[in-house]
Structure 1
Amino acid sequence: MNDKNTTPVRPLSRRKLLLAAGATGTMALAGCAGRTDDQTGSPDEDDSNPGDEQPRGHRSPALERWVDEVPRPATQEPTGTKDGQPYYEIEMRESQQKLHRDLPETTVWGYEGSFPGPTIEAEQGEPIYVRWTNNLPDEHLFPVDTTVHGDIIPYDIEGVRTVTHLHGGNVEAASDGKARGWFTRDFAETGPDFEKKDYYYANDQPPATLWYHDHALGITRLNVYAGLSGFYLLRNDHERSLGLPDGEYEIPLVLQDRKFTDDGAMYYPDGPVESESPDPSIVPQFYGDVSTVNGKAWPRLSVEPRLYRFRLLNGANSRYYRLALLEYDEQSGETGAAGPEFVQIGTDGGLLPSPVELDGRLELGSAQRADVLVDFSEYAGETLLVHNDAPAMYRGQSRAEADDVEPLPEIMLIDVEEGEQTETNVPETLTRVPELSLEAVDTERYLPLLRSSDEYGRPLFLLGSEGNQSGHRLTDPATETPTVGDTELWSIPNLTGMSHPIHLHLVHFQVLGRQSVGYDPGDEIDPDSLRPPKQFERGWSDVVSVDPGEVVHILVHFGEYEGLFTDQTGEYMWHCHMIEHEDHDMMRPLDVRSTSEEGSDD
């Protein structure tokens, strides 16, 4: 392999770094309740980490479960054309929405005033234009911590900052929705990376379950929590020819957690518990105590005894989900035997080569998607529970967890109607997914996930590099500077005490495998010695979960690959998609260079 990312001074090895880092908590490579055999690390008490306090205690009012039907997001229609292509104007605005039968109407911020926003349906190879307009109030719904990037964010300007990112989009840099490309109402104020009002989405990529959401620097966690997200479904004729469930039998489902006050307002904490932090203050993570699906609290879904297609999205700020369907006695509230299996047909980046019947639970980190089939034909008249066994602090631990971090085992109910069973037909093959090759790698990168503290003693999660294993800040010069057309190997060790879902803008990648953190930069990688990708993360991904104590190796190609995707250059982002982490510096620029710029790193 050719390594274009060499550094003049060899940094500390990973083994030496572990010995030196105990005081900062990087040794907390710990497990948690609900561990499974494939999880790495070993249980280890660690009460010494500063800033581990959870959000200030608040409990939602008691709500009767399973009283509302799951709503289905509306489909957005174009408002006209531009350059002969569909043109959309989608407004961000405040509205009132009934999120539970027994709650007063809740104030939400939504695209077209809806939480979640309307679904955009696009066709592969047919570009569209979207103007995302900001008509939000001047004051935020939730407490804003002005110490987060206070040196580069003008918190004193009038209005709320927003910018929309098409998550999973292989798009031009000017339309990526970068964190510093924000704008206020009527574009009165714009950020330093703002380039244009009308975003251009080429849609020249495989059909997939994409989504759009706010990405404004320093307040993404608040804007998304307020409701600013929605589905973007990309389709093509080949997918339609497969005979997959469609129409009313294809249902997008976004899973999120929320907290509420007695008057129906969504609650977001104004700081950690018993902390010397600023008031208000960002919190390390957020975990709600109420499950919402498509914006409805603890709902139920009625289905026929037949095959369905679910487009699942983890839209939560921090929470992981590990999902299974269980038989459920609604009267007693007890679960029974396993229900129908999830058959996965697609991941973040589109269809898998063939369907995969999962032999365990389906794991979704924040922002991950799963395209699944579920056959209800043998469950006529039964009730099933969508059950989650992921602890809140996923594959990690915190001293305050027992009191203030909420597990969320019950997600929604599914009622299978009585009636004649419909014959099911799951295609044996779905599409061709070309494999990225380790032998074709041009550049290798060692990119550790690190934990530190900020000036207030709050947890600060950072992204490092081989040249800086203490961690970079967002505003440090770009260190990830790939050349379009190259294939790279990114080795991502997690030296913190919890799992992180890592997202790359622009590109999709393939998971090569995992190993323990004993791996050092420059070590030869033997693919046969790695733990292979999990069943549900084969194919193209744009988010990968990295558990404590492990290194995940991913293969990333920048640009067109065997007729898929497009060549794009410019500045993008990569970051943890636990949104509190993303807002608080666990985000870095990704500067994709043209071949003429190759070798021009600072």
Structure 2
Amino acid sequence: MDRRRFLQSGTLAGGALFLSRPPAGTARAEPAAGPPTGLPPVDDPQYLSPVGDPAAVPRFVNPLPRPSRLDLRRGGRHALRLAPAVRDLLGGGLGLRTPVWGFGPPGGAVAFPGPTLIARSGRPTTVNWLNHLPRHHLLPVDPTLHQAFSHSTHTIARDGVPAVVHLHGGHTDADSDGHPDAWYTARGVTGPRFSGSRYSYANSQEAATLWYHDHTLGLTRLNVYAGLAGFYLLRDRRERELITCHRLPDPRYERELVIQDRMFHPDGRLAYPDAPAASPAWPGGPSIRPEFFGQVLLVNGRAWPCAAVEPRQYRLRLLNGSNSRFYRLSLDGGRPVPVTLIGTDDGFLHRPLPLTEPLVLAPGERADLVADFRGCAGATFDLGNDAPTPFPDGTPVLPPADKVLRFQVTRPYDARVPEPRLPAALRPGPFRVPRPVTRTRRLLLFEGQDAYGRPKPLLGTVERGTSAWDAPVTETPRPHTAEIWEFFNTTSDTHPIHLHLVSFQVLGRAAFTADQDPAGGALSNIRTEPPEPPDGTETGPKDTVQAPPGRVTRVKAFFDRCGTYVWHCHMLEHEDHEMMRNFQVR
């Protein structure tokens, strides 16, 4: 269904992050019925060609893959190529191989997801991102969007697939940030902001779970879906001391976990909705959808894997790498497992936070957790998901997308490795942006329609209304100043808002009502209820924040590097369809 709900007064769903431990239950392996090879097709009107039945993909029979790692801690120069590969994503004895895109060193294997890059704070490094992508896309391209080759004679068939890599959460100079207009192709065609493929990362921030992914204008949803994403783990002295003093799990018991949703054709190829829009003005061909929600859940590039663990504490670094799907995660099966949140997107919390409610992760968000499997030898725990699509008031999640990953506490305990004892404090004090505020900006989240009658999510200002991607810049922070940005969400969905360059402090939210111009979205007569502070899980440094419907979400950021950056919704279908704006620090 392409039509989306418009703003309904009184919709004030919350946006807090939690983790839960539901009542115990009996857990068993669940190999789904299906032929030994191939997936039986199902009739899905979203697709022009058949898609495979997600229920025919076995769950919890594939071992959890561990991403390969590339050590950048000495700094220096490195190179990674963006290139095609073929991988078994579904496993389970189906015998299917899936063409994907990924990252790998020159002359080396291409990894899907990309290799985890390990960097050290204070040790600058340079990565040459080499575009070796082919002259055809794995997925249907909508030519009606404002995208890399718009208003030009360039084509993918002649010039290759455009790409550009953004270090999400990185404190990065503008010319190495991966601006959507800095794309380039294997045949040397470049975007208007291209300044080279060698990106310099100062690594001038604290330890954090960052990630890198494609950010090409109008093609991000497709390039990331094809596989262009990976972890970037930044280490620092404080984190090393916590590990050395056995206050955090040993790195041998650290697992990065990227959750992504996908669909597949019966022969194993990636499938993505490509039906044309229903409009008399539609020229024909593939059309963007408001969101994409796949029913096959991948963790580290494998469908519904099973992780064998020791009865000890593990550090789990979770990333929601999906296009549009939110996850509301909980552990079930067996007896409860204590889980503690120790960090958010860009660094540690002040104090470890035991979690008792579901953990909601929006696209682009990360969570740094410690899960305690001690005393659970032989037990099995399923990581479940019950987030509606779209979030928070959409369709309830149905099997098989109601489960993500299985933990089996079956590995023998290695007593030679000391158990950590989490510290009382992970950082000297609560995360704050200490600079005085020089300006407060009131920003707008709005949903309109494009020329073909499709929902078109947009950003803008409360006073002026919405602005398209290429409209003049309206957000111009001065260098070395702090600002408060207020996001007034007049849509019916929660949007994950991401700011490049900065790690911001979440200040809180408040319900509001207002009169709204139905055409441009500008607000007047705004009435705001008493503010609510952020949940304890949002008190660490963040770069992506959930902006719930009917609320104003407030963050504070310090802008210290000059240049042009972007802020946008991190639902990739939204940012590709104009829910993205430039800002300039000048």
TM-score grouping bracket, smaller chain normalisation: 0.7 to 0.9
Query: Which residue in 2 is equivalent to 1:333?
Result: none
Query: Which residue in 2 is equivalent to 1:414?
Result: 407
Tell me by how many angstroms 1:342 deviates. Answer: 2.4
Tell me by how many angstroms 1:436 deviates. Answer: 3.8
Q: Judge conservation of contact 2:4–2:455 (CA < 8 Å) in 1.
A: no
Query: Which residue in 2 is equivalent to 1:584?
Result: 577
- Cα distance change, pair 164–420 in 1 and its aligned pair in 2 (3 A): closer
Percent of aligned pairs with the same amino acid: 42
Query: Which residue in 1 is equivalent to 2:210?
Result: 210
Query: Which residue in 1 is equivalent to 2:220?
Result: 220
Q: Does 1:64 align with 2:61?
A: no
Q: Judge conservation of contact 2:296–2:303 (CA < 8 Å) in 1.
A: yes
Which whole-Å CA distance do the structure 2 matches of 1:253 and 1:581 have between them?
Answer: 24
Secondary structure in 1 matching 2:513: coil
Query: Which residue in 1 is equivalent to 2:510?
Result: 515
Q: Does 1:89 align with 2:79?
A: yes
Q: Does 1:294 align with 2:286?
A: no
- Cα distance change, pair 523–289 in 1 and its aligned pair in 2 (3 A): closer
Tell me by how many angstroms 1:536 deviates. Answer: 2.0
Residue type matched to 2:264 in 1? F
Q: Judge conservation of contact 2:495–2:569 (CA < 8 Å) in 1.
A: yes
Q: Does 1:141 align with 2:138?
A: yes
Which whole-Å CA distance do the structure 1 matches of 2:209 and 2:433 have between them?
Answer: 25
Secondary structure in 2 matching 1:572: strand
Query: Which residue in 2 is equivalent to 1:574?
Result: 567
Query: Which residue in 1 is equivalent to 2:367?
Result: 370
Residue type matched to 1:417 in 2? T
Tell me by how many angstroms 1:197 deviates. Answer: 2.3
Q: What is the TM-score when the length of structure 1 is the normalising length?
A: 0.82
Which whole-Å CA distance do the structure 2 matches of 1:451 and 1:524 have between them?
Answer: 21
Residue type matched to 2:449 in 1? S
Which whole-Å CA distance do the structure 2 matches of 1:54 and 1:396 have between them?
Answer: 23
Deviates more, 1:415-424 or 1:346-355: 415-424
Secondary structure in 2 matching 1:242: helix
Which whole-Å CA distance do the structure 2 matches of 1:392 and 1:54 have between them?
Answer: 18
Q: Judge conservation of contact 2:16–2:535 (CA < 8 Å) in 1.
A: no
Query: Which residue in 1 is equivalent to 2:442?
Result: 446
- Cα distance change, pair 448–358 in 1 and its aligned pair in 2 (3 A): same
Residue type matched to 2:290 in 1? P
Unaligned runs of 5+ in 1: 1-22, 40-52, 329-336, 560-567, 594-602
Q: Judge conservation of contact 1:55–1:283 (CA < 8 Å) in 2.
A: no
Deviates more, 1:576-585 or 1:23-32: 23-32
Query: Which residue in 2 is equivalent to 1:502?
Result: 497
Q: Does 1:360 align with 2:357?
A: yes
Q: Judge conservation of contact 2:433–2:505 (CA < 8 Å) in 1.
A: no
Query: Which residue in 1 is equivalent to 2:475?
Result: 480
Query: Which residue in 1 is equivalent to 2:31?
Result: none
Q: Deviations over 1:457-516 (max 9, x none)?
A: 0110000103322x1100001101001111111111110111110000000111111111
Query: Which residue in 1 is equivalent to 2:39?
Result: none
Query: Which residue in 2 is equivalent to 1:5?
Result: none
Secondary structure in 2 matching 1:117: coil
Q: Does 1:107 align with 2:102?
A: no
Deviates more, 1:456-465 or 1:352-361: 352-361
- Cα distance change, pair 152–489 in 1 and its aligned pair in 2 (3 A): farther
Query: Which residue in 2 is equivalent to 1:259?
Result: 263
Which whole-Å CA distance do the structure 1 matches of 2:347 and 2:53 have between them?
Answer: 37
Q: Judge conservation of contact 2:15–2:547 (CA < 8 Å) in 1.
A: no
Q: Does 1:75 align with 2:69?
A: yes
Tell me by how many angstroms 1:362 deviates. Answer: 1.2
Which whole-Å CA distance do the structure 1 matches of 2:214 and 2:10 have between them?
Answer: 32
Tell me by how many angstroms 1:324 deviates. Answer: 1.3
Query: Which residue in 1 is equivalent to 2:544?
Result: 543
Residue type matched to 2:498 in 1? H
Which whole-Å CA distance do the structure 2 matches of 1:88 and 1:169 have between them?
Answer: 17
Q: Judge conservation of contact 1:55–1:273 (CA < 8 Å) in 2.
A: no
Query: Which residue in 2 is equivalent to 1:4?
Result: none
The CA RMSD over aligned residues, in Å, is 2.8
Q: Judge conservation of contact 1:31–1:395 (CA < 8 Å) in 2.
A: no
Runs of at least 4 residues off by over 6 Å: 35-39, 404-407, 519-526
Q: Judge conservation of contact 2:510–2:528 (CA < 8 Å) in 1.
A: no
Tell me by how many angstroms 1:240 deviates. Answer: 1.3
Which whole-Å CA distance do the structure 2 matches of 1:24 and 1:341 have between them?
Answer: 39
